[in-house]
Each structure stands twice: as C-alpha cells, then as structure tokens.
Structure 1
C-alpha cells in the first residue's frame, strides 16, 4: 500500500533535484540575476525553500516551531555560491528526512504546533510532509517563472512526470 504523504515528499525531492538540474545547465549567473518577482533572485528563492524544508524537518523531529523558525531565519536569506551547493544541502536534508521517516512508524501521530503567524493547532506528521511538498511546488513555480523572465526555459516538474520516472511505461496491448 502506498504511503501518500511519503510519496509526495519523495516527489518534492525529485522535483527539487529536477529544477536544480535545469538551473545547473544554464550560466552560473542565472542564480544571482535580479528579477521582478516574489524573490529578488533564484538563489533567494532556493535559500528560502531550503530554510523552510529544514525548519519543518526540525519540527517533524520534535523541535518547537518557534525555536525552529528562529534558528532557520538566517538561512532563508543566505545565498549560496552555486547549484552544486544547493543540491548538496537539499540532498543531505532529504537523507535526514528519510532517516527520520524510517524511525517514525506512525505518521498520523499528532503534535501541537504553535505557529507565531497562525496560532496553535494540532497537526499530524503526515500533514507536515504534505505541506513541505506543497510549499516546494509553489516555489518551484516561482523559479520557473523567474527563469522565463530571464529568457530561459524551465523544466517540467509536475507530479505526473514523477510518476513516469518511478515506474516504467506499460506497453499497450
């Protein structure tokens, strides 16, 4: 039986690697070229994505949201030198997520989330994984738009393309 929150998280990892692969094909300056968008540069968008993924990992593993948010704020604006550095950070973080997932047997376990922007509520671990995937999808869309504004094509990171990467096509009869 498929664990859909874990599958969506794995899609998030695949899609982030895919967009980073596309950016790596372009001139290195594409990371730092300014655009009129939700982030001033693609590097800022990637830094934000990484910091938020890291923050939610910390929450997933038991750190209170206010502390995790405070710890990750500096990373949200830290601009790295290249796509290799972003890819390395995302890969290391995904390995830590997977290690935590192997230790966690009940993704429907709840925790109290004290979100300084939205208030207190209970949240299931599975919801955290779905949120991380959804947040990444949103910002990969921003990055695709930024690439187009800079005169470059993006790449397809839709969930359906992840399906085809995971399972070979079945020949028609």
Structure 2
C-alpha cells in the first residue's frame, strides 16, 4: 500500500463510523445507548468511546505528540459531546493523513516500549482493522437492541467510490 491507498482506506473508516452514527446511534434511546452489555467494552456508548480513544491514541503517537489518557465512557453521557470530540479526533487523523508520504510508511514512530519496532504502515493498518472489528461489534449490539443493521463491507464502499 502507498500513502494514497491509506488515505482511501481511512476515508472508508471515517465514512463507516459516520454511517453507523447517523443511521443507527442517533435514533437509539439514552437507555439503549448506555445499556450495559457483558461483551467487549460493554454498551454502545462504551464501544464508541473506546473506538474514538484508540484512534486518538495511535494517531497521537504517529504525530509524535503526548499519548492521551484513555477516555472514560462515564465522562461522555451526552451524544453531542461525543460527536464533537469524535469530529476533532477524525480531523486530527485527516490532517496527519493529508501529510502522509510514501517514504514515511517505513518510519518507526515510537522510540521505546513494546511499540518501538512497529512501522507506520503497520500502525495504520492496525487502527483501521481495529475500527472494523469494533464497528462489527457495534452493529451486533445495535441489532440485539432490535434495530435492523446493514453490512459494513469495504467492497461496498469501494463500489460507491470508484
């Protein structure tokens, strides 16, 4: 993959995140949104906050800035606050991706710790796959709440964006 392919891949990531938000999450009641679930990170809200937090953490590392503390879902009881924060996270990711060049894909962005041997393309791939995993979990949770959901397959995005 090259930098343009990663930008395309992340356009899919952002589009699917927004599609799930706008199509399903905004119509959930507060009780459905925060309903405790004994799987993964729990409620729909908790899944969203986790996804947003992980995106921000990894991209902060890629940008070489201080890694933020993990977000606590209890601090995000209002969907407007979540959406505003998620928009900021997405924009910072877009800003990074806009400056991404092919030669950067093999840089090691982390100086120490367990991530020190990772290279940029591995981090970018991981974050995108992580997002797909948690969107799938979200779709299952939302379906279990009685809402009919649809697929998030990349290929459908590709067909629509050729």
Range of TM-score over shorter length: 0.7 to 0.9
Distance 1:49 1:2, change over 3 A: closer
In structure 1, the partner of 2:15 is 14
User: How far has the Cα of 1:101 moved from its partner?
Assistant: 2.3
CA deviations 1:36-95 (Å, max 9, x no partner) are 3212211111111111000011111014xxx52xx322x143452344433332222221
Check the 8 A contact 2:34/2:44 in 1, yes or no: yes
Larger radius of gyration: 1
1:27-46, aligned counterparts within 5 Å?
Answer: 27-46=29-48
Q: 1: distance between equivalents of 2:75 and 2:19?
A: 20
Instruction: Find the counterpart in structure 1 of residue 107 from structure 2.
Output: 110
Q: State the secondary structure of the residue aligned to 2:105.
A: coil
Output the TM-score relative to the length of structure 2: 0.83
- Larger helix percent: 2
Tell me by how many angstroms 1:2 deviates.
Answer: 7.6
Q: Please show how residues 153-164 of structure 1 align to structure 2 within 5 Å.
A: 153-164=148-159
**Higher relative contact order (Cα pairs below 8 Å, separated by 6+ residues):** 1
Aligned residue pair count? 159
Q: Which runs of 5+ in 1 are unaligned?
A: 168-173
Q: CA RMSD in A?
A: 2.4
Mapped to 2, the partners of 1:161 and 1:89 lie a distance apart of: 28
Is contact 2:64–2:109 with CA below 8 Å preserved after alignment? no
Partner of 2:96: 100
Q: Is the 8 A contact 2:3 2:100 kept in 1?
A: no
Per the alignment, in what secondary structure is the counterpart of residue 31 of structure 2?
A: helix
Matches within 5 A, 1:60-139: 60-63=62-65, 68=67, 71-73=68-70, 75-105=71-101, 106-111=103-108, 113=110, 119-139=114-134
Instruction: Give the TM-score normalised by the residue count of structure 1.
Output: 0.78
Name whichever of 104-113 and 14-23 sits farther off. 104-113
Q: Give the Å deviation of 1:148.
A: 2.0
Runs of 4+ that moved beyond 4 A: none
Distance 2:135 2:89 in 1: 17
